[in-house]
């Protein structure tokens, strides 16, 4: 059925959508909820300087469901802890990194990698597919 | 057939020794080749006599516990030594009665039952009776203290007592039952059949039962035998395994064997732990209120066949205080590292981005390595720069443009493969300037460099370097007289044994309030990189407690040798915190003008 107007995909916010992997990580590292994406962690990180992947980006990738990129990015971390020490919100970044690494390397990694994350909303792919099929 | 009651005892003994044989053989077979070589090299008369001496002084007399608390020591000592002497004297008495030293174990244990109605002939038999009673009284006095400790642990100097699990509690009940049951059995025996020493005959006389109730005596022997048998059956699965395992553990420990990456030696260490709880009382996690991973709990779970939970494995500052205080010297840190390797060793890594050839370090005599933590405390490298320039040293700050990690955090988290990969990069970066000496500001890095890096040149902490400069009078800092307390960081003190050099430096420039130190007494700041479970507020609780314990009300500044400790203490905001290099740099008066100009122009990130 057509109503004469379209959904603007970039403006969609789907509150029903759950970020399973992120929320699972949140239960193990509750301090992640304190992150305000200030970027202090990235600013102090040598791996971020060299590769472009800092802790803030790890969280963005996780929420977006970019698992392949995140899995690779986590391997750059030296676990030196500067990000943890400079964090103004007291986020336990080192534990989060170890947990994420463990998540991607344990037996249920495939299940985690199948989690689409928020990407399906921001890029509108999932909904786009649905609308396409509806409209025929 | 009349002595059927010995069956539980005999069954227990047979089960115990069979279980021990199976377990010990399996652990010995797991010992790696490196430790096997160490063991072969260590075998000598000197090693044997030293170990035997330690078995007597620690497994029986528990002399290390004497330093902790006298009452606690008496409890442990009386139970161990008393029981051991009861067994030895019991066998001697049995041999005396039967005329041969090859008497069955049950005969020696239940001798009073077998010698019912026999009157002691001669003073030796009489003396044996009194001796056995005296020893039993000795053990019972220790048992009384053990009961007090269970309900009022503070009376025995224990602020925090261990919480035992089901099997341990079961074994405890049987153990507590053994000695009162023996006293009752002997007393009733002597009440009905005469004889006995000063204690059992007196108690028998007090009970004074009707001769028609002779079956009570047999019943009491049954209770004694059952409690012994049950204890022996539970023993291999409980903390009381330490009673027997301490002996091979001491011999293996003195042979120079190491726990790291060796499951066989690790099992001996884990089972030698008696869960006495001394480690709980020395652990600083008590101040943080999050202490699920304390050594006692961790080692207890390490003994189980399944892996220890990640939260418990990672909830530890790895400060080493428990290892120093442990009466049987269980390598708690080594066991924990083994578990961390098991959890995280195979994690993937990628450090090729560090092979950036654009980062060049100019050749110099001294390579100065600040370490990651000095990036967050830039006043330390700045102070070191000032000192280097004042002394006219040819130095290169190798991680000035690009911070690179020594790898210790990776090692402490258990990522062994990543650690080995990273140290290759860091070593290359440091050696690029062709130095004759490496000066390090971070004790965490220094510990790794001295243990795991194959450097052929000396590596020094900056406090050692500063002392050398001051001794040679290359730099002459003035005495400021500020009332100062020095904090021994865990890695520098317990880890590397560097206690006196920083103190000698500070004594020359300040009024040092704690010039004396006791090896191993240093306190952790709480901000350890080995810990993954604590949040910022909990770390601050530890830091504040440490500052309060170390300083007195008139202390003007706290000086430390570790940038991470400095940062953690600084956040507590209780008093000014300085690194030792800053204290020295501030006391320098005659700095060359060239150095001053250079410093004012250099931007430290």
State pLDDT tens for residues A22-42.
888 999 999 999 999 999 999
Q: Please indicate whether, in this complex, the C-beta atoms of B344 and A98 are within 8 angstroms of each other.
A: yes
- What is the pLDDT, as a whole number, of residue B596? 56
CB pairs < 8 Å spanning A and B: 77
Report d(CA B491, CA B460) in Å as an integer: 13
Chain B residue closest to A73 (CA)?
Answer: B350
Give the closest residue to B411 by CA, choosing from B322, B349, B492: B349
Mean pLDDT of the B378-399 span: 93
Look at residue A133 and tell me if it is in a domain: no
pLDDT tens digits, B45-65: 999 999 999 999 999 999 999
Could you give the residue ranges of the DSSP H alpha helices within B198-294? Answer: 198-207, 215-234, 242-254, 263-272, 278-282, 285-288
pLDDT above 70: residue A126: no
Across chain B, mean pLDDT equals 90
Residue whose entry in the numeric block shows the structure tokens 């520098």: B492
pLDDT tens digits, A73-105: 999 999 999 999 999 999 999 999 999 999 888
pLDDT band for position A15 (50/70/90)? low
Q: Please indicate whether, in this complex, the C-beta atoms of A79 and B402 are within 8 angstroms of each other.
A: no
Mean pLDDT of the B382-409 span: 91
pLDDT above 80: residue A112: no
Give the closest residue to B466 by CA, choosing from B366, B545, B566: B366
Q: Please indicate whether, in this complex, the C-beta atoms of B532 and A50 are within 8 angstroms of each other.
A: no
CB < 8 Å from A in window 287-346 of B? 310, 314, 343-344, 346
Counting Cα atoms < 13 Å in the Cβ hemisphere of A66 gives: 15
Query: Is the separation of the CB atoms in B261 and B205 below 8 Å?
Result: no
Mean pLDDT of the B198-205 span: 86
- A-chain residues near B288 (CB < 8 A): none
Look at residue A70 and tell me if it is in a domain: yes
pLDDT band for position B491 (50/70/90)? very high
Chain A residue closest to B426 (CA)?
Answer: A78
- What is the pLDDT, as a whole number, of residue A130? 37
- Give the nearest partner residue to A90 out of B349, B405, B536, using CB atoms: B536
Report d(CA B295, CA B300) in Å as an integer: 8
Q: Give how far A82 is from chain B: nearest CA, Å.
A: 7
Cβ–Cβ contact B16 with A under 8 A: no
Report d(CA B309, CA B339) in Å as an integer: 9
- What is the pLDDT, as a whole number, of residue B116? 77
Phi and psi torsions of B482, nearest 5°:
-75, 135
Q: Please indicate whether, in this complex, the C-beta atoms of A51 and B567 are within 8 angstroms of each other.
A: no
Coil, strand or helix at B554: coil
Cβ–Cβ contact A68 with B under 8 A: no
Residue whose entry in the numeric block shows the structure tokens 């090729």: B352
B25 token code pair: 């053989």
Q: Please indicate whether, in this complex, the C-beta atoms of B350 and A75 are within 8 angstroms of each other.
A: yes
CATH of the domain at A41: 1.10.1060
- What is the pLDDT, as a whole number, of residue B120? 63
**Long-range pairs for B49-56: beta carbons < 8 A, 24 or more residues apart:** B50/B254, B51/B250, B51/B251, B51/B254, B54/B250, B54/B254, B55/B246, B55/B247, B55/B250, B55/B251
Report d(CA B451, CA B372) in Å as an integer: 18
pLDDT tens digits, B68-90: 899 999 999 999 999 999 999 99
- B-chain residues near A50 (CB < 8 A): 353-354, 356
- What is the pLDDT, as a whole number, of residue B360? 76
pLDDT above 70: residue B26: yes
DSSP letter, residue B495: I
Q: Give how far B548 is from chain A: nearest CA, Å.
A: 23
pLDDT band for position A128 (50/70/90)? very low
Look at residue A7 and tell me if it is in a domain: no
What Cα–Cα distance (Å) separates residue B446 from each residue in A19, B318, B462, B494, B562? 43, 16, 10, 13, 10
Q: Please indicate whether, in this complex, the C-beta atoms of A81 and B344 are within 8 angstroms of each other.
A: no
Share of chain A above pLDDT 90, in %: 49
Chain B residue closest to A49 (CA)?
Answer: B402
pLDDT above 80: residue B349: yes
Look at residue A3 and tell me if it is in a domain: no
Report d(CA B452, CA B429) in Å as an integer: 16
- Give the nearest partner residue to A75 out of B348, B356, B567, using CB atoms: B348
Chain A residue closest to B411 (CA)?
Answer: A79
Chain B residue closest to A51 (CA)?
Answer: B353
Interface with B, mutate which of A49, A76, A81 (most B CBs under 10 A): A81
Total count of domains within chain A: 1
- What is the pLDDT, as a whole number, of residue B331? 95
- B-chain residues near A49 (CB < 8 A): 402
Query: Is the separation of the CB atoms in B572 and B551 below 8 Å?
Result: no
Q: Give how far B57 is from chain A: nearest CA, Å.
A: 43
Counting Cα atoms < 13 Å in the Cβ hemisphere of B79 gives: 19
Backbone region of residue B221 per phi and psi (left: phi > 0; alpha: psi in -120 to 50; beta: other values): alpha
Phi and psi torsions of A38, nearest 5°:
-75, -25
Q: Give how far A18 is from chain B: nearest CA, Å.
A: 26
- What is the pLDDT, as a whole number, of residue A9? 67
pLDDT band for position B163 (50/70/90)? confident
Domains parsed from chain B with CATH numbers: 6-30+61-237 (no CATH), 259-343 (no CATH), 352-469 (3.40.50), 474-586 (no CATH)
What pTM does this model have? 0.89
Look at residue A2 and tell me if it is in a domain: no
Look at residue A111 and tell me if it is in a domain: yes
- A-chain residues near B402 (CB < 8 A): 46, 49
Q: Please indicate whether, in this complex, the C-beta atoms of B532 and A95 are within 8 angstroms of each other.
A: yes
Q: Please indicate whether, in this complex, the C-beta atoms of B532 and A94 are within 8 angstroms of each other.
A: yes
Report d(CA B564, CA B487) in Å as an integer: 12
- A-chain residues near B377 (CB < 8 A): none
What Cα–Cα distance (Å) separates residue B470 from each residue in B582, B584, B585, B587? 15, 10, 12, 12
pLDDT band for position A124 (50/70/90)? very low
Report d(CA B360, CA B434) in Å as an integer: 12
Mean pLDDT of the B145-155 span: 91
Report d(CA B386, CA B470) in Å as an integer: 14
Report d(CA B283, CA B289) in Å as an integer: 11
What Cα–Cα distance (Å) separates residue A38 from each residue in A33, A34, A41, B117? 13, 11, 8, 89
pLDDT tens digits, B497-554: 999 999 999 999 999 999 887 777 889 999 999 999 999 999 999 999 999 999 999 9
Look at residue A55 and tell me if it is in a domain: yes
- Give the nearest partner residue to A81 out of B354, B356, B529, using CB atoms: B529
- A-chain residues near B343 (CB < 8 A): 102
pLDDT band for position A5 (50/70/90)? confident
**Long-range pairs for B126-131: beta carbons < 8 A, 24 or more residues apart:** B128/B89, B128/B92, B128/B93, B128/B96, B129/B195, B129/B196, B129/B197, B130/B197, B130/B198, B131/B89, B131/B197
pLDDT tens digits, B253-309: 999 999 999 999 999 999 999 999 999 999 999 999 888 999 999 999 999 999 999
CB < 8 Å from A in window 385-414 of B? 402-405, 407, 409-410, 413
Cβ–Cβ contact A20 with B under 8 A: no
Cβ–Cβ contact A49 with B under 8 A: yes
Report d(CA B446, CA B468) in Å as an integer: 17
Query: Is the separation of the CB atoms in B530 and B284 below 8 Å?
Result: no
Over its C-alpha atoms, chain B yields an Rg (Å, rounded) of: 30
Q: Please indicate whether, in this complex, the C-beta atoms of A85 and B532 are within 8 angstroms of each other.
A: no
Look at residue A4 and tell me if it is in a domain: no
pLDDT above 70: residue B599: no
Cβ–Cβ contact A70 with B under 8 A: no
Give one DSSP letter per residue of B299-318, joined into a string: HHHHTSSSPPPHHHHH----
Cβ–Cβ contact A85 with B under 8 A: yes
- Give the nearest partner residue to B372 out of A75, A80, A94, using CB atoms: A80
Chain B residue closest to A106 (CA)?
Answer: B347
Chain A residue closest to B445 (CA)?
Answer: A80
- This model of the complex carries an ipTM of 0.85
- B-chain residues near A95 (CB < 8 A): 314, 532-533
- Give the nearest partner residue to B413 out of A76, A79, A90, using CB atoms: A79
Could you tell me how far CA B128 lies from the centroid of its own chain? 40
Strands in B459-461's sheet, in edge-to-edge order, are: B395-397, B366-369, B437-440, B459-461
With vertex at residue A113, the alpha carbon angle to CA A110 and CA A118, rounded to the nearest 5 degrees, is 155
Chain A residue closest to B311 (CA)?
Answer: A28
What Cα–Cα distance (Å) separates residue B171 from each residue in B166, B235, B238? 9, 7, 7
User: How many Cβ atoms sit within 10 Å of the Cβ of residue B316?
Assistant: 27
Chain A residue closest to B527 (CA)?
Answer: A85
pLDDT above 50: residue B603: no
User: How many Cβ atoms sit within 10 Å of the Cβ of residue A39?
Assistant: 13
Q: B47, exposed or middle or buried, with CB in 10 Å at 0-12, 13-18, 19+? A: middle
- Give the nearest partner residue to B535 out of A31, A78, A105, using CB atoms: A31
**Is A125 or B526 the better-scoring residue by pLDDT?**
B526
Q: Please indicate whether, in this complex, the C-beta atoms of A85 and B567 are within 8 angstroms of each other.
A: yes
Q: Please indicate whether, in this complex, the C-beta atoms of A79 and B376 are within 8 angstroms of each other.
A: no
Domain range enclosing A96: 13-26+37-128
Cβ–Cβ contact A95 with B under 8 A: yes
Query: Is the separation of the CB atoms in B185 and B108 below 8 Å?
Result: no
Cβ–Cβ contact A23 with B under 8 A: no
Q: Give how far B370 is from chain A: nearest CA, Å.
A: 13
């Amino acid at each position: 059925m057509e109503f004469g107007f379209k959904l603007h995909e970039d403006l969609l916010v789907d509150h029903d959508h759950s970020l399973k992997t992120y929320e699972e990580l949140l239960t193990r590292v509750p301090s992640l909820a304190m992150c305000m994406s200030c970027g202090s962690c990235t600013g102090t990180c040598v791996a971020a300087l060299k590769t472009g992947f800092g802790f803030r980006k790890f969280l963005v990738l996780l929420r977006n469901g970019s698992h392949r990129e995140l899995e690779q990015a986590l391997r750059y971390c030296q676990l030196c802890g500067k990000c943890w020490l400079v964090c103004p919100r007291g986020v336990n970044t080192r534990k989060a990194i170890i947990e994420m690494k463990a998540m991607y390397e344990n037996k249920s990694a495939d299940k985690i990698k199948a989690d689409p994350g928020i990407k399906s909303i921001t890029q509108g792919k999932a909904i786009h597919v649905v609308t396409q099929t509806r409209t025929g | 057939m009349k002595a059927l009651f010995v069956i539980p005892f005999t069954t227990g003994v047979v089960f115990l020794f069979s279980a021990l044989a199976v377990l010990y053989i399996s652990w010995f077979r797991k010992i790696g080749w490196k430790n096997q070589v160490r063991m072969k090299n260590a075998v000598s008369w000197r090693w044997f006599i030293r170990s035997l001496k330690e078995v007597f002084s620690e497994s029986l007399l528990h002399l290390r516990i004497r330093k902790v608390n006298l009452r606690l020591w008496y409890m442990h000592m009386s139970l161990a030594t008393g029981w051991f002497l009861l067994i030895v004297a019991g066998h001697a008495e049995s041999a005396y009665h039967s005329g041969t030293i090859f008497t069955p174990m049950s005969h020696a244990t239940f001798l009073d039952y077998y010698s019912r109605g026999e009157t002691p002939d001669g003073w030796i038999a009489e003396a044996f009776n009194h001796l056995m009673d005296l020893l039993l009284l000795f053990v019972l006095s220790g048992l009384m203290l053990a009961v007090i400790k269970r309900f009022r642990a503070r009376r025995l100097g224990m602020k925090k007592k261990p919480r035992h699990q089901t099997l341990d509690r079961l074994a405890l009940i049987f153990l507590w039952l053994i000695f009162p049951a023996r006293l009752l059995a002997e007393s009733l025996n002597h009440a009905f059949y005469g004889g006995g020493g000063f204690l059992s005959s007196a108690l028998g006389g007090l009970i004074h039962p009707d001769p028609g109730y002779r079956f009570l005596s047999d019943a009491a022997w049954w209770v004694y035998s059952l409690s012994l048998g049950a204890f022996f059956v539970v023993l291999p699965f409980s903390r009381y395994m330490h009673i027997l395992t301490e002996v091979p553990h001491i011999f293996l420990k003195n042979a120079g064997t190491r726990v790291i990456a060796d499951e066989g030696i690790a099992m001996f260490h884990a089972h030698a732990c008696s869960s006495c709880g001394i480690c709980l009382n020395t652990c600083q996690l008590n101040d943080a209120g999050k202490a699920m991973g304390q050594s006692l709990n961790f080692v207890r779970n390490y003994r189980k066949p399944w892996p220890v939970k990640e939260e418990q494995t990672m909830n530890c500052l790895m400060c080493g205080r428990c290892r120093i205080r442990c009466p049987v010297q269980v390598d708690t840190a080594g066991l924990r590292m083994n578990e961390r390797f098991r959890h995280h060793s195979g994690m993937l890594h990628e450090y090729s981005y560090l092979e950036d050839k654009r980062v060049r370090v100019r050749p110099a005599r001294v390579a100065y390595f600040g370490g990651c933590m000095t990036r967050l405390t830039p006043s330390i490298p700045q102070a070191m720069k000032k000192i280097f320039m004042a002394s006219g040293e040819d130095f290169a700050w190798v991680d000035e443009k690009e911070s690179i990690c020594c790898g210790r955090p990776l090692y402490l988290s258990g990522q062994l493969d990543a650690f080995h990969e990273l140290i290759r990069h860091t070593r290359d970066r440091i050696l690029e300037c062709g130095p004759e000496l490496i000066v390090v500001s971070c004790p965490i890095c220094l510990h790794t460099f001295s243990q795991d890096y194959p450097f052929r040149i000396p590596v020094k902490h900056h406090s050692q370097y500063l002392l050398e400069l001051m001794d040679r009078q290359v730099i002459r800092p003035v005495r400021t007289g500020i009332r100062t307390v020095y904090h021994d960081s865990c890695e520098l003190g317990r880890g590397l044994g560097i206690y006196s050099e920083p103190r000698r430096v500070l004594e020359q420039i300040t009024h040092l309030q704690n010039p004396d130190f006791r090896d191993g007494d240093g306190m952790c700041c709480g901000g350890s990189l080995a810990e993954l479970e604590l949040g910022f507020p909990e770390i601050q609780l530890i830091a504040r407690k440490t500052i309060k314990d170390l300083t007195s009300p008139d202390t003007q500044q706290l000086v430390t040798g570790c940038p991470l400790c400095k940062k953690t203490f600084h956040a507590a905001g209780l008093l000014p915190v300085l690194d030792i290099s800053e204290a020295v740099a501030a006391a320098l008066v005659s700095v060359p003008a060239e150095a001053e100009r250079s410093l004012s122009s250099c931007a430290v990130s």
